[in-house]
């Protein structure tokens, strides 16, 4: 009888063991094969680079990039092994003593948080094949699976390869995976550049990625770092003197958040993302599968120059901080919506908060009550984010009063985009002011004058500065900003001083449709209204279009369409796609391009752009044009040198919000300073020092003769009108090259209402 009892007990225990073993085996899940482990394919972030080799940002599902063993500093390896797995180079993947201890705690003590028994190989297994959430049996099953996978990994990879795999997969908190992403996030440097104490900080994070995050909890992170350093000393990686020195040091972060939305040139990256997707859609991996930009570790090289991008960003930060302060003071006793209630009403009804409340079918009174309720929120200010207590309506008013900007630089000879600033901060404002459309003001005039030159109007043809009323165009009567209507301007003089009355005459004499055709040829994509006010820049166009048009002039009349991406490589460095340079489109004669460039140099030396030299001390050759729209809603400056074209726009998102006077509201005050500050920084950079001495091609004798006349004259006789002011003192031989008498005579009497 006793024997039968023991047999029964034995059977029960055996069955229980088998049930437990079977349960654990089920909980273990599928064990990857050797083939699976040899083909480990981690999700790797794609990286976007500037043309000068600097990383602009990443595109990822998980923020991870892989490094080789040689890129992992020795001090990091020492810190990791001393803290996480002291016998790493001795065991074969499993530390049986530690594993036994953990199993006892997990099974007998029901401690689901039991840890400390996993080797780096087991942790790697856990990273590659994450655990399922559940009870103790799930944990035990996961532990067994990790032990088996670790053993397989040890048989397939060297210790150095395992260490590299581990450091490319482990999480460092936030959205960071792998040593390289962590090194850039917390210290803005490559892993190989890490100091001992910095490596210890990162290793310390692995214990608890939130609790030991040095940005969130600096004191806890320092304590954990010092624990790691003590472990390094314990295993003779550090001597006592070095330990004492390092533990006394503060943690000095250089936090850089490279996310899908942030990093350098975020508006540019948002612009090119669809382009990249379109390009890689035509490419296949060796296994025939399509590439995935978020997981396949592609390297995309763009046209952006990181240095010029930095100078553009810093110029915006410097000037907009100054200008916003002026703007706030300008409106300190009132607000634009006090004069025009539609501004605030539009802002409220088009806000996300209003739309959400409206979708809930609340009454207007309920919506207004909800939007007046104050709540904690973080708002953007020009000085940085601010935590405050504010209602939705207050927030709308705050953002209505912010001045925004767009800056774009293009290399005219290639079309390469070199700098792109779409707004103040992409995290808060995704609306891109490089591609959005605003009235362009007088920056459109060079297109009008280019068309005039191409169609036979001479640089020294004079136009009377008089205000006219054009009955055939609904009594349109353009006026000059300065209210002056005296004298006569040459074509060059009229552009230099941005004379509206003359520009109106020029577009009508040239032909509005011809100007439209020229604008489209130069890079303007938008449809343009066939009205004479086009000459004054009443069309809504983008900064991108305007920079393309000016680049055509700077490139001697040849249009190069914008280029954004130069090359796409796979994770192994194989080139998958590469941009093939294209031949530009001839839009105008080289002589016309030279003349209009000369005109715009005069704008900089004698006209509205002269502060580039007088205030900002720029002495290099510059051509440009300012622009100011009605009521100072938009300030523009388009400028170029022989090497680079840069356009700047400044204004509020709502055109009804603006300066009330030209003291600060004109393009020369709102936009030109950004251009000047950017150029100042570039000229100090040794890589761009040659720009200081670059010159536009000199005009030949015929072109010089064609502009040899005063920009302005108070009075003109009939003789002046027929032969030009300069003809008075010239001999008969020189007069042979002048415009024929009857052609001039015809031109004089064909000009609308332009009589002495």
pLDDT digits (tens, 9 = 90+) for 591-621: 999 999 999 999 999 999 999 999 999 999 9
Indicate whether 71 and 177 sit together in one domain: yes
pLDDT band at 113; cut points 50, 70, 90: very low
pLDDT value of position 114: 43
pLDDT value of position 303: 98
| Span 78-96, average pLDDT | 80
Indicate whether 251 and 160 sit together in one domain: yes
Structure tokens, 29: 């899940």
Which of 24-33, 47-56, 215-224, 735-744 shows the lowest per-residue confidence on average (mean pLDDT)? 735-744
| Span 161-182, average pLDDT | 84
Indicate whether 367 and 251 sit together in one domain: no
67 against 102, higher pLDDT: 67
Examine the fold and report which residue of 391, 423, 458 is the final residue of a domain before the chain moves on: 391
Indicate whether 258 and 350 sit together in one domain: no
Indicate whether 146 and 247 sit together in one domain: yes
pLDDT band at 167; cut points 50, 70, 90: confident
Q: For residue 470, is it within any domain?
A: no
SS3 readout for 49-86: ECCCCCEEEEECCCEECCCCHHHCCHHHHHHHHHHHCC
Whether the predicted pLDDT of 357 surpasses 60 = yes
What 8-state DSSP symbol labels residue 91?
Answer: S
| Span 286-302, average pLDDT | 87
Indicate whether 145 and 256 sit together in one domain: yes
Whether the predicted pLDDT of 512 surpasses 80 = yes
Cα separations in angstroms, 153 against 35, 91, 128, 192: 11, 12, 11, 26
pLDDT value of position 626: 97
Three-class DSSP category at 386: strand
Give dist(CA 186, CA 172) in Å, integer: 10
Indicate whether 343 and 204 sit together in one domain: no
Q: For residue 609, is it within any domain?
A: no
Indicate whether 48 and 191 sit together in one domain: yes
- pLDDT tens digits along 461-474: 999 999 999 999 99
Indicate whether 102 and 246 sit together in one domain: yes
- pLDDT tens digits along 391-450: 999 999 999 999 999 999 999 999 999 999 999 998 889 899 999 999 999 999 999 999
pLDDT value of position 11: 58
287 against 27, higher pLDDT: 287
pLDDT value of position 686: 95
Quickly list H helices, 177-296.
Answer: 179-187, 196-205, 218-234, 240-247, 266-280
pLDDT band at 162; cut points 50, 70, 90: confident
254 against 515, higher pLDDT: 515
pLDDT value of position 465: 94
pLDDT value of position 112: 43
596 touches 453 (CB < 8 A) = yes
High-pLDDT (> 90) share of the chain, % = 59
Examine the fold and report which residue of 358, 391, 424 is the final residue of a domain before the chain moves on: 391
Cα separations in angstroms, 650 against 265, 290, 654, 668: 18, 42, 12, 11
| Span 6-23, average pLDDT | 53
Whether the predicted pLDDT of 293 surpasses 80 = yes
pLDDT value of position 96: 62
Whether the predicted pLDDT of 117 surpasses 70 = no
Give Cβ neighbours of residue 43 (< 8 Å, ≥ 6 apart): 60, 61, 62, 64, 294, 295
Indicate whether 131 and 215 sit together in one domain: yes
| Span 532-561, average pLDDT | 97
Domain total for the chain? 2
pLDDT value of position 30: 55
Give CA 393 to chain center in angstroms.
29
Host domain of residue 211: 32-263
- Report for 79-88, 144-153, 188-197, 248-257: range of highest mean pLDDT: 188-197
Q: For residue 252, is it within any domain?
A: yes
Give dist(CA 386, CA 395) in Å, integer: 12
pLDDT band at 515; cut points 50, 70, 90: very high
Whether the predicted pLDDT of 92 surpasses 50 = yes
Three-class DSSP category at 132: coil
13 against 288, higher pLDDT: 288
pLDDT value of position 133: 54
pLDDT band at 2; cut points 50, 70, 90: low
Q: For residue 92, is it within any domain?
A: yes
pLDDT value of position 169: 81
Q: For residue 725, is it within any domain?
A: no
Q: For residue 88, is it within any domain?
A: yes
Structure tokens, 290: 């399509």
Indicate whether 98 and 239 sit together in one domain: yes
- pLDDT tens digits along 628-671: 999 999 999 999 999 999 999 999 999 999 999 988 999 999 99
pLDDT band at 575; cut points 50, 70, 90: very high
Examine the fold and report which residue of 341, 356, 391 is the final residue of a domain before the chain moves on: 391
Three-class DSSP category at 623: strand
441 touches 576 (CB < 8 A) = no
The CATH number for 237's domain is 1.10.3810.10
pLDDT value of position 278: 92
Tell me how crowded residue 525 is: count the other CB atoms within 10 A of its CB: 11
Q: For residue 407, is it within any domain?
A: no
CA atoms within 13 A on the CB side of 291: 27
Give dist(CA 548, CA 434) in Å, integer: 12
| Span 525-540, average pLDDT | 95
pLDDT value of position 6: 62
| Span 312-337, average pLDDT | 96
pLDDT value of position 700: 94
Residue 726 exposed, middle or buried by CB count within 10 Å (0-12, 13-18, 19+): middle
pLDDT band at 695; cut points 50, 70, 90: very high
Q: For residue 508, is it within any domain?
A: no
**Best CA proximity match to 721, nearest among 460, 466, 452:** 460
168 against 709, higher pLDDT: 709
Structure tokens, 435: 């591609």
Across the chain, mean pLDDT equals 85
């Amino acid at each position: 009888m006793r024997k039968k009892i023991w047999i029964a007990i034995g059977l029960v225990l055996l069955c229980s063991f088998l049930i437990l073993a079977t349960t654990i085996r089920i909980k273990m899940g599928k064990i990857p094969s050797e083939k699976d482990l040899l083909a480990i394919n981690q999700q790797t972030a794609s990286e976007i680079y500037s043309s000068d080799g600097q990383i602009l940002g990443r595109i990822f599902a998980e923020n991870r990039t892989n490094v080789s063993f040689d890129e992992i500093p020795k001090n990091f390896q020492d810190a990791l092994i001393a803290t996480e797995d002291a016998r790493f180079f001795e065991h074969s993947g499993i530390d049986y003593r530690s594993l036994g201890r953990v199993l006892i705690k997990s099974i007998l003590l029901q401690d689901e948080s039991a840890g400390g028994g996993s080797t780096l190989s087991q942790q790697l297994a856990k990273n590659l094949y994450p655990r399922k959430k559940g009870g103790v049996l799930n944990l035990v099953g996961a532990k067994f699976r990790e032990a088996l996978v670790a053993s397989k990994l040890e048989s397939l990879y060297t210790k150095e390869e395992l260490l590299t795999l581990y450091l490319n997969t482990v999480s460092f908190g936030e959205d960071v995976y792998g040593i390289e992403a962590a090194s850039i996030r917390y210290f803005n440097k490559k892993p190989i550049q890490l100091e001992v104490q910095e490596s210890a900080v990162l290793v310390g994070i692995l214990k608890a990625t939130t609790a030991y995050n040095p940005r969130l909890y600096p004191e806890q992170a320092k304590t954990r770092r010092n624990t790691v350093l003590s472990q390094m000393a314990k295993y003779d990686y550090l001597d006592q003197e070095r330990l004492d020195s390092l533990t006394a040091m503060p943690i000095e972060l250089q936090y850089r958040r490279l996310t899908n939305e942030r990093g350098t040139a975020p508006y540019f990256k948002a612009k090119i993302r669809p382009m990249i997707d379109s390009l890689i859609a035509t490419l296949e991996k060796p296994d025939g599968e399509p590439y995935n930009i978020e997981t396949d570790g592609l390297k995309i090289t763009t046209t952006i120059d990181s240095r010029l991008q930095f100078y553009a960003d810093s110029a915006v930060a410097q000037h907009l901080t100054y200008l916003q302060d002026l703007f706030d003071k300008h409106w300190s006793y009132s607000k634009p919506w006090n004069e025009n209630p539609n501004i605030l009403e539009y802002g409220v009804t088009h806000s996300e908060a209003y739309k959400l409340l409206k979708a809930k079918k609340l009454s207007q009174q309920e919506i207004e009550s909800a939007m007046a309720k104050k709540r904690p929120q973080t708002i953007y200010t020009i000085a940085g984010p601010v935590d405050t207590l504010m209602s939705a309506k207050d927030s709308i008013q705050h953002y209505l009063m912010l001045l925004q900007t767009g800056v774009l630089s293009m290399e005219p000879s290639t079309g390469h985009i070199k700098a792109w600033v779409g707004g103040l901060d992409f995290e808060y404002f995704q609306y891109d002011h490089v591609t959005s459309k605003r009235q362009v003001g007088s920056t459109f005039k060079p297109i009008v004058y280019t068309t005039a030159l191409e169609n036979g109007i001479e640089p020294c043809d004079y136009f009377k500065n008089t205000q006219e009323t054009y009955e055939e165009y609904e009594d349109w009567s353009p006026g000059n900003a300065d209210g002056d209507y005296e004298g006569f301007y040459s074509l060059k003089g009229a552009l230099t001083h941005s004379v509206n009355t003359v520009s109106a005459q020029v577009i009508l004499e040239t032909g509005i449709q011809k100007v439209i055709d020229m604008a489209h040829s130069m890079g303007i994509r938008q449809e343009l209204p066939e009205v004479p006010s086009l000459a004054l820049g009443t069309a809504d166009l983008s900064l991108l279009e305007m920079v393309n048009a000016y680049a055509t002039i700077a490139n001697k009349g040849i249009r190069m369409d914008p280029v954004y991406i130069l090359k796409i490589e796979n994770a192994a460095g194989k080139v998958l796609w590469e941009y093939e340079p294209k031949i530009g489109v001839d839009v105008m004669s080289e002589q016309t391009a030279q003349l209009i460039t000369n005109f715009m140099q005069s704008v900089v030396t004698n006209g509205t752009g002269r502060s580039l030299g007088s205030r900002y001390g720029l002495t290099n050759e510059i051509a440009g044009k300012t622009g100011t729209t009605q009521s100072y809603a938009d300030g523009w400056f388009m400028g170029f040198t022989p090497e680079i074209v840069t356009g700047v726009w400044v204004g509020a998102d709502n055109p009804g919000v603006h300066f009330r006077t030209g003291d600060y509201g004109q393009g020369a005050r709102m936009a030109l300073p950004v251009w000047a500050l950017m150029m100042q920084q570039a000229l100090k950079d040794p890589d761009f020092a040659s720009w200081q001495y670059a010159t536009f091609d000199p005009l030949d004798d015929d072109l010089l003769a064609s502009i040899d006349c005063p920009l302005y004259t108070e009075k003109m006789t009939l003789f002046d009108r027929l032969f030009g002011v300069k003809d008075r003192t010239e001999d008969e031989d020189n007069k042979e090259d002048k415009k024929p008498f009857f052609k001039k005579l015809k031109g004089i009497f064909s000009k609308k209402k332009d009589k002495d």
